[in-house]
Structure 1
């Protein structure tokens, strides 16, 4: 049965809200675990999507990137983390940064499992659940791969800073002030899609091997 326009919007909206909310909350939980309570004090360790939505990064840019036929692109309001409060700032930065992408892969797995089990639901719900599951897989894998791109202030940039020797890490971290400009330029020139496509295919194949 063909989905209505509202059902199609809901099929994509719900996975997007879950993807950005759990991603940001995961950073907050990881930061708290390793000693920084900044996000908790500001009420940002929450699954309430309204706390994480950025009008430009969560709504405008994703819509534009889809309309232009490029890779889905966007961001949420980042959960504040004071890395100096972590017990081992440079080492623990790795796990705090990795928590977000890891949560996206976990959610993609969950949507993949749901996709393989839609037959157990009533026939009237199967088309909607299939569409939502496919959307959930796509959105979470794109966010996973995008956030692993090694450019500050993305999670991949934080991971790189954590792994590099101290002097190199300090120099690399200075790129952060130009990071979003570089990222947007890479997006609209098509270079970002070329770089990320092979990584995205790898995670798609990995997910397929795990759940199909």
Structure 2
């Protein structure tokens, strides 16, 4: 649907959804951590929606821009919100809740963006410019948030899914599993370049997307 847009129009449509998706994801981690005993993110001023506090030059700007130009699926990341497990009331279990907060925030945002897309379609006959922009932005918001939701639930350290899995593993096995973390980024890149990451993401992505679209009649 967005193939008809120019590159500058695509940038205009995607910028706000991408920045919000990445920023709110990290704030959600820090907010839940603060509720469970760790105030590290709050002390460092990271519990804010000001994107400047969270922007990673590569993950927030360069990677999404390159993917947008190449026409593939768009995703990115922000600077990770620091969490000190030792400050959590129940470190192992609470860390799982902190981890799941990020993907949960993306699901909530995807629901909001699908409502915005529906609003755009309603407004388009009487306000074509505004309506079309809202529709395209809403679809972009659904896409980026669902990608971050599904991607982060993959159980590869340090993705959020690995924190949840680590919480249910026996301590010794969890320790060995978490030692993969320094190599996790390279594993993800390898899956991407070998063409495996897309198929891994596409099934759950399409299922959730179709469910959301059916909710509002898109």
| 1:181 corresponds to | 186
The match for 2:108 is: 106
Task: Render the CA deviation track for 1:114-166: whole Å, top value 9, x for unaligned.
Answer: 11222247333111111111110101101111111111111111111112222
24, 27, 37: which one aligns with 2:26:
24
Partner residue of 2:215?
A: 210
Partner of 1:191: 196
Cα deviation 1:82-121 (Å, max 9, x = unaligned):
1111000011111100000000010000011111222247
* Contact 1:109/1:211 (8 A) holds in 2: no
Paired with 1:71 and 1:136, the residues of 2 have a C-alpha distance of: 12
Residue of structure 2 equivalent to 1:89: 91
Among 76, 96, 101, the residue aligned to 2:78 = 76
Seen in structure 2, the aligned counterparts of structure 1 residues 48 and 146 have a Cα distance that, compared at 3 Å, is: same
**Equivalent residues of 2:21, 2:106 under 8 A apart:** yes
- Structure 2 gaps of 5+ residues are none
- Displacement of 1:209: 3.7
Identify the residue that residue 132 of structure 1 maps to in structure 2.
Answer: 137
Q: Deviations over 1:141-198 (max 9, x none)?
A: 0111111111111111111111222222111111001111111111111111121111
Give the distance between the partners of 2:100 and 2:88, measured in 1 at CA: 15
Match of 1:170 in 2: 175
CA shift, 1:210, in A, is 3.4
Aligned-residue CA RMSD (Å): 1.8
Deviation at 1:201, TM superposition (A): 1.5
Match of 1:41 among 43, 49, 69: 43
The answer to whether residue 146 in structure 2 is matched with residue 144 in structure 1 is no
- Gap runs ≥5 in structure 1: none
Distance 1:196 1:29 in 2: 27
Equivalent residue, structure 1, for 2:67 = 65
Q: Residue 204 of structure 1: CA displacement?
A: 1.2
Relative CO higher for 1 or 2, CA cutoff 8 Å, sep ≥ 6?
1
Shift of 1:5: 5.4
Cα separation, partners in 2 of 1:29 and 1:10, compared to 1, 3 Å: same
Equivalent pair of 2:28/2:102 in contact (CA under 8 Å): yes
Distance in 2, Cα, partners of 1:38 & 1:30: 11
